């Protein structure tokens, strides 16, 4: 089989998946878990294939006899506003926000303390007090989120699972990103990791499984959830603990041919990867350790806690992130509209509710956005000649609506180059389209650009091509709760 020519990051997993499917067909030598577990690693070694590796772990979890789960879990740290931070503090002295996003205190410098030293002290104390308890055996957690899609009456359920995932450099083409990261957030998360030696939230990872075999392993015949909580957005979160070795082996085998895309958590992933490199053993570590016949990372820092979600699932929702531009010198809506006609057809829209603008936008077959200024709303639709302005971008990026918006509108028309966009000197990003429009109407911004969501197919194409999207391109909804499980490195 060495003569096979495989091209692209998707070709390798398809090859392994096809072989695995054949091996597991009824009546074949591989039609059992033991056969798959033996042959798939052999194939990967033989062809030097790097694939996703998933591990069960002995998670630390909140003790239900000591605290109520709804009082202690939080949204991801980078989605916690100052008001939410204060509310979390008031809910419980054991709320996870005290660890992942603690408040500074007046005399920290004089006392030689910081939010990070307090986080480490609290984590240690909560374990000693029995507020946090550790699983007795390695396990994974099925994790389902039932929610209403914002702005609609549609109810969906997104299903995934929490486990450890092996850390890979992007060059290995196992884990793919879709956005750039900034140094500030990575420094903050590294300080927390060094102080606590633990991961408190999950990296949101996507894998492809059109047949939904992983979901079948996890959810077919599942009984009542072990834990359930409804968050401040009305999202119902449920988890099931899975410790049966046979089920875990089935799951790890099913994931053995996958490539992964980071949906949320790029900063934390890169922080964990750098930390892993710093703590790699001097002598080459074995590819994995085995505990009670279940695989474990070669060393604790070699993996990070992840939630894995099928990118082919109907429950996966990507919301648009709208752009609000403010504090421009001498912005004139009439001049903007006239200049935009070089690359777009520009049609005035009658005054209407924001929902009406979004409906008209979603009906457009090609690249389009709605620009709302103090004088009214405009529908901008890209002309064929506009594509020439994107010639310097990688081919997958040239298909993105947001590439047109950033390259032509923000940069060429408004003078906001990549540096200004990165530093957010004149731009804000909002999920709520109505609030974006209201900021313009209240005189707090010059123009708001309403956008369509990025389709999953485009995200997949950009990421697997090794490229990245413009900043704040995706908003996966809902977010993963922090505090459902904790991975301690010690």
Same domain, 238 and 357: no
pLDDT in tens, 228-265: 999 999 999 999 999 999 999 999 999 999 999 999 99
**Per-residue confidence band for 418, with pLDDT thresholds at 50, 70 and 90:** confident
Cis ω for the linkage preceding 249 (within 30 of 0): no
Task: Report CA 377 to chain centroid distance, whole Å.
Answer: 32
Cis amide linkage into residue 478, ω under 30° from 0:
yes
Mean pLDDT score across all residues of the chain: 89
Whole-number pLDDT of residue 333: 97
Residue 284 domain-assigned (yes or no): yes
Q: How far apart, in Å, are the Cα atoms of 411 and each of 417, 420, 439?
A: 5, 9, 22
From its phi and psi, is residue 325 left (phi > 0), alpha (psi between -120 and 50) or beta?
A: beta
Cα–Cα distance, 362 to 349 (Å, whole number)? 14
Q: Are residues 326 and 301 in the same domain?
A: no
Whether 213 is in a domain gets the answer yes
Q: Which domain holds residue 10?
A: 1-49
Distance between CA atoms of residues 416 and 408, nearest Å:
10
Is 465 inside any structural domain? no
Question: Is 45 in the same domain as 108?
Answer: no
Would you say residue 295 lies in a domain?
yes
Same domain for 44 and 58: no
For residues 310-336, average pLDDT: 96
Least confident of 36-45, 177-186, 243-252, 426-435: 36-45
Q: Per-residue pLDDT tens for 86-108?
A: 999 999 999 999 999 999 998 88
Answer whether residue 110 shows pLDDT above 70. yes
Say how many domains are in the chain: 3
Q: Examine residue 461 and state whether it is found in any structural domain, yes or no.
A: no
Do 150 and 256 belong to one domain? yes
Give the CATH number, domain containing residue 412: 3.30.1760
| Residue 290 confidence (pLDDT) | 56
**Are 281 and 307 part of one and the same domain?**
yes
| Domain co-membership, 25 together with 81 | no
Say if residue 246 is in the same domain as residue 114: yes
Number of Cβ atoms within 10 Å of the Cβ of 271: 24
How far apart are the C-alpha atoms of 437 and 304, rounded to whole Å?
39
Q: How confident is the model at residue 119 (pLDDT cuts 50, 70, 90)?
A: very high
- Per DSSP, the residues of 359-413 read HHHHT-SSSEEEEEETTEEEEEEE-GGGGGGGTTS-GGGGG-HHHHIIIIIIIII
pLDDT in tens, 350-371: 999 999 999 999 999 999 999 9
Structure confidence by residue, pLDDT tens digits, 127-141: 999 999 999 999 999
Q: Are 154 and 310 in contact (CB under 8 A)?
A: no
CA distance 199 to 32: 35
Question: Among 48-62, 161-175, 191-205, where is mean pLDDT lowest?
Answer: 48-62
pTM for this one?
A: 0.88
Question: Is 99 inside a domain boundary?
Answer: yes
For residue 169, pLDDT over 50 is answered with yes
Query: For the chain, how big is the Rg over CA atoms in Å?
Result: 24
Residue 26 lies in a domain: yes
Enter the DSSP assignment of 77: G
Instruction: Check whether residue 24 and residue 62 sit in a common domain.
Output: no
Judge whether 191 lies within some domain.
Answer: yes
Same domain, 215 and 169: yes
Q: Do 301 and 416 belong together in one domain?
A: no
Residue 32 contacts residue 38 (beta carbons within 8 Å): no
Same domain, yes or no: 343 and 266: no
């Amino acid at each position: 089989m060495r003569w096979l020519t495989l091209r692209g990051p998707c070709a390798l997993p398809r090859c392994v998946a096809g072989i695995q499917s054949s091996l597991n067909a009824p009546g074949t030598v591989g039609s059992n878990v033991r056969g798959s577990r033996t042959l798939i690693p052999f194939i990967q070694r033989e062809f030097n294939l790097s694939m996703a590796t998933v591990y069960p772990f002995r998670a630390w979890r909140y003790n239900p006899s000591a605290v109520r789960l709804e009082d202690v879990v939080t949204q991801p740290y980078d989605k916690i506003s100052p008001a939410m931070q204060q509310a979390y503090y008031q809910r419980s002295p054991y709320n996870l926000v005290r660890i992942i996003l603690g408040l500074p205190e007046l005399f920290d410098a004089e006392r030689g303390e910081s939010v990070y030293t307090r986080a480490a002290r609290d984590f240690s104390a909560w374990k000693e007090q029995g507020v946090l308890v550790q699983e007795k055996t390695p396990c994974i957690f099925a994790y389902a989120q039932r929610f209403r899609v914002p702005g609609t009456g549609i109810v969906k359920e997104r299903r995934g699972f929490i486990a450890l995932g092996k850390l890979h450099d992007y060059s290995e083409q196992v884990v793919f990103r879709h956005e750039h990261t900034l140094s500030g957030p990575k420094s903050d998360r590294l300080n927390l990791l060094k102080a606590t030696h633990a991961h408190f939230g999950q990296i949101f990872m996507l894998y492809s499984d059109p047949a939904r075999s992983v979901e079948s392993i996890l959810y077919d015949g599942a009984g009542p959830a072990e834990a359930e909580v409804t968050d401040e957005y009305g999202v119902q979160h449920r988890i099931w603990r899975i410790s049966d070795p046979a089920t875990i082996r089935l799951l790890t085998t099913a994931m053995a041919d996958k490539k992964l895309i980071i949906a949320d958590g790029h900063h934390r992933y890169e922080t964990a990867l750098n930390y892993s490199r710093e703590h790699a053993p001097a002598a080459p570590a074995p590819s994995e350790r085995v505990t009670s016949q279940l695989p474990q990372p070669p060393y604790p820092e070699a993996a990070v806690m992840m939630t894995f979600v099928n990118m082919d699932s109907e429950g996966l929702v990507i919301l648009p992130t709208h752009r609000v531009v403010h504090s421009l010198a001498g912005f004139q809506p009439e001049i903007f509209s006239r200049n935009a006609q070089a690359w777009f057809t520009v049609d005035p829209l009658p005054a209407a509710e924001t929902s009406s603008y979004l409906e008209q936008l979603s009906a457009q077959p090609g690249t389009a956005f709605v620009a709302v200024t103090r004088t009214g709303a405009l529908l901008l639709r890209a002309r064929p000649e506009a594509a020439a302005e994107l010639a310097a971008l990688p081919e997958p990026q040239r298909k993105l609506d947001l590439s047109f918006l950033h390259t032509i509108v923000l940069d060429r028309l408004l003078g906001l180059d990549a540096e200004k966009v990165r530093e957010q000197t004149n731009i804000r990003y909002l999920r709520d389209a109505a609030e974006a429009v209201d900021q313009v109407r209240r005189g707090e911004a010059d123009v708001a650009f309403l956008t369509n969501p990025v389709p999953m197919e485009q995200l997949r194409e950009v990421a697997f091509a090794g490229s990245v999207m413009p900043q704040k391109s995706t908003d996966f909804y809902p977010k993963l709760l922090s505090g459902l499980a904790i991975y301690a490195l010690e």
